[in-house]
Amino acid sequence: MNKVKSLFAATKLKQEFARRRTKLYRVAYSWCHNASLADDLVQETMLKALKNAERLKNHATLDTWLYRILLNNWHDYLRVKGRDVELFDVGDDEQNSHSDNYQQSQIIHRVRSSIEKLPMSLREVVTLADFACFSYAEISEILDIPIGTVMSRLYRARQNLKEQLLDLAGDGGVPIRLKRVK
């Protein structure tokens, strides 16, 4: 009977992980700007999470736990490859080449470029807050930093992005209206 329960629990956990895969991928991609690397990071995260599932004490903290594993995998990658890893944007495979989508693709490219220029400590906080929609407390737990540090890094990241994007708009580009993603 215990084997049946553990098999059922493992199947349920795999389903929970599968539901979070896309969101994990988006955050990983925003950090590395490489589709195959982001996929590898998420795959490694899933493997480690499945292997260490018994360590998860509170199921309510599953998201925080998964993103912490993802962050650790990202830091491991940077440590192995060195801090001067060349990052590049491969673009969206789903992006249509129609002229009506040109303006939207330019804005997306500008935002991605601006995020890529942020220091890693700011990039991690802003992607967890605005892409993954984590609270300050959750980000604090994932990154293992105080909440005040999360708030100050998020403020600096958003100010930096605002300045970069407004500078781009002032260069004769399309005017950019900034709004909160959450």
CATH at residue 33? 1.10.1740.10
Give the model's pLDDT for residue 3: 58
**Mean pLDDT for all residues in the chain:** 79
Question: For residue 179, what is the domain's CATH number?
Answer: 1.10.10.10
- How confident is the model over 140-151, as pLDDT tens digits? 999 999 999 999
DSSP string covering 74-98, please? Answer: HHHHHHHH-TT--------SS----
Q: Are residues 106 and 78 both part of a single domain?
A: no
Give the model's pLDDT for residue 82: 67
Orientation of helix 147-170 relative to helix 136-143, angle to 10°: 100
Least Cα distance to 65 among 145, 138, 170 occurs for: 138
Name the domain boundary from 38, 57, 83.
83
Residue 78 clears pLDDT 80, i.e. is over it: yes
Q: Are residues 41 and 8 both part of a single domain?
A: yes
**Structural domain span for residue 79:** 1-83
- How confident is the model over 5-61, as pLDDT tens digits? 555 666 777 788 888 888 899 899 988 888 999 999 999 998 898 888 888 777 778
Q: Are residues 107 and 164 both part of a single domain?
A: yes
Contacts of 25 (CB under 8 A, 6+ apart): 38, 39, 42
Give the model's pLDDT for residue 139: 93
For residue 64, the number of C-alpha atoms closer than 13 Å in the C-beta half-sphere is 17
Q: Are residues 76 and 5 both part of a single domain?
A: yes
Q: In whole angstroms, give the CA distance from residue 79 to residue 82.
A: 5
Structure tokens at 132: 């993954």
Q: Are residues 123 and 66 both part of a single domain?
A: no
Least Cα distance to 24 among 79, 81, 62 occurs for: 62
Domain-located, residue 182: yes
Give the model's pLDDT for residue 85: 43
DSSP string covering 118-177, please? Answer: S-HHHHHHHHHHHTS---HHHHHHHHT--HHHHHHHHHHHHHHHHHHHHHHHHTTS----
Helix/strand/coil (H/E/C) assignment for every residue in 1-21: CHHHHHHHHHHHHHHHHHHHH
φ, ψ at 147 (rounded to 5°)? -60, -40
Residue 94 clears pLDDT 80, i.e. is over it: no
Give the model's pLDDT for residue 8: 60
Q: Are residues 63 and 5 both part of a single domain?
A: yes
Residue 134 clears pLDDT 50, i.e. is over it: yes
pTM given for the model: 0.63
